[in-house]
Structure 1
């Protein structure tokens, strides 16, 4: 069996992280779609850069620092798994964790939630 199918995606295919507050605020004014485990905000940057960018946030409503960090780790992994294939080039996506759900929901259901929200955001 070849290991070529088990290689991680190329660095250019991996989404970049949003770190600017201004970019988070722009995404907050764009399209939104909720699911059982998360809220996803998405916007087309229209800047000519084909990179997909992603950001994550969990308020204190999600829980203490341990719970928020766990929720964000899970959201990061869901985004890494789905955005390279389902995200659109030139878009920013911000994933927002939900109280008591994001950290405890089975991972395969988180993936389904992410696929659902992306389909809805893009009108599919």
Structure 2
């Protein structure tokens, strides 16, 4: 679908995604929103981890894993014209096997898009 992912950086973009659809999995929470026409192109994605995940080292490790999973999964399973925010979970995001992390993201995307 999209050649590259655009990373969300503005707080307002994260807040708009937070008001949209969400789907929790064992290792992360995924929020997704269909953008208004003409707002931006391609797939946009943001990453966040609260302090519940741990100290700065633990949060950064969790975000690195989420970024890599998004890089591998979103071009194939994400939809152009959508914003996604991946939220790390305490202990689970860093400890989950990477293949399971990718499966969690695929599952969450199917549910957000209304597929079973």
TM-score (norm 1): 0.88
User: Displacement of 1:89 after TM fit?
Assistant: 0.5
Q: Which residue of 1 aligns with 2:22?
A: 32
Deviates more, 1:44-53 or 1:74-83: 44-53
Number of aligned residue pairs: give it: 113
Larger radius of gyration: 1
* Alpha-carbon distance between aligned partners in 2 of 1:55 and 1:44, rounded to the nearest angstrom: 14
Structure 2's unaligned 5+ residue stretches are none
* Alpha-carbon distance between aligned partners in 2 of 1:66 and 1:81, rounded to the nearest angstrom: 23
Match of 2:6 among 1, 16, 34: 16
Q: Which residue of 2 aligns with 1:110?
A: 101
Structure 1's unaligned 5+ residue stretches are 1-11
Runs of 4+ in 1 over 2 A off after TM superposition: 47-50
Match of 2:43 among 52, 77, 83: 52
User: Displacement of 1:46 after TM fit?
Assistant: 1.8
User: Displacement of 1:96 after TM fit?
Assistant: 0.1
* Alpha-carbon distance between aligned partners in 2 of 1:90 and 1:46, rounded to the nearest angstrom: 8
TM-score (norm 2): 0.94
Q: Which residue of 2 aligns with 1:97?
A: 88
* Alpha-carbon distance between aligned partners in 1 of 2:46 and 2:78, rounded to the nearest angstrom: 13
SS of structure 1 residue aligned to 2:92: coil
Q: Which residue of 2 aligns with 1:68?
A: 59
Note the alpha carbon deviations across 1:40-62, whole angstroms, 9 max, x for none. 00001123333100000000000
* Alpha-carbon distance between aligned partners in 2 of 1:47 and 1:76, rounded to the nearest angstrom: 26
* Alpha-carbon distance between aligned partners in 2 of 1:109 and 1:82, rounded to the nearest angstrom: 12
* Alpha-carbon distance between aligned partners in 1 of 2:37 and 2:83, rounded to the nearest angstrom: 11
